[in-house]
Amino acid sequence: MLASERKKTRYCNMAIVLYELAGADPGLRFSPYCWRSRMALAHKDLTVRTIPWRFSEKQALAFSGQGRVPVLKDGNKTVVDSWAIASYLEERYDDRPSLFGGEMSHAHVRFMNAWTDTVLNPGIARMVVRDVLDALDSKDKAYFRKSREERFGMKLEQVQAGREERLPELRKMLEPVRIALGEQDWLGGDDGPSYADYILFGSFQWPRCISKFELLAKDDVLWGWRERMLDLFGGLGRSAKTVY
């Protein structure tokens, strides 16, 4: 964090601050997990000041006791991890539109969250992880390549190779979401989006921001859902900076 940033935070410590992953262009915000928090804040109609953060800026997050984003600061309260942030916002701002719709519902969304983290996001990573590298700040590139190549056990170029041929497999993986969205406008029902929608939206906003590679077919029910998501909150998602 810059000294000027720190000062600002100190002087208006009631403002909500969100640390978000950024690319070489500080306006390029593409982390699926940060998008979850960003949409959750908008759902609660809360004003937020976002701070661009790069993988190599571990020191800037030292105050949070860990080194990953999103990190939320709300006055004196610091919350890390997208799920914890959503749960915090729901409880702290319980007079505002609900993200979950009750305790049992909050519990139900955990499965969706875990599925997205462990199945869908790794699947999408295999489509765009090499494109991510291009968008990163030069000081992040070596770390990103090394850590992700260790995770996948191969070069980033190999991970992403043949993505056109693998696209049907990814689309098949989305079948349970497709079935749910075939029955209702949002994962949260017909009345409007819930945090479940923001979880899934993050996974699509990520490739949308850092790659030209299109994951969805126009006749997919998911395409229409994503269009509705992009329109929410005055086009918050649609107006996001992209690499193209």
Q: How do beta strands 71-74 and 48-53 pair? A: unpaired
- Alpha carbons within 13 angstroms on the beta-carbon side of residue 3 total 0
Distance (Å) of CA 185 to CA 98, 176, 179, 180, 182: 17, 14, 11, 9, 8
Nearer to a copy of itself, 171 or 238 (CB): 171
Backbone torsions φ then ψ of 137, nearest 5 degrees: -65, 145
Q: Which of 161, 180, 236, 240 binds a copy of itself (CB under 8 A)?
A: 180
Nearer to a copy of itself, 51 or 124 (CB): 124
Beta carbon of residue 151, minimum distance to a copy of itself (angstroms, whole number)? 16
- Nearest-angstrom CA–CA distance, 37 and 25: 20
State the binding string over 102-131 for a copy of itself (x if CB under 8 A, else -): xxxxxxxxxxxxxx-xxx------------
Can you name the residues that pair with 78 across neighbouring β-strands?
73
State the binding string over 37-76 for a copy of itself (x if CB under 8 A, else -): ----------------------------------------
Q: Which of 45, 134, 191, 227 binds a copy of itself (CB under 8 A)?
A: 191
* Residues in touch with a copy of itself (CB under 8 A): 98, 100-115, 117-119, 175-180, 183-184, 186-191, 194, 196
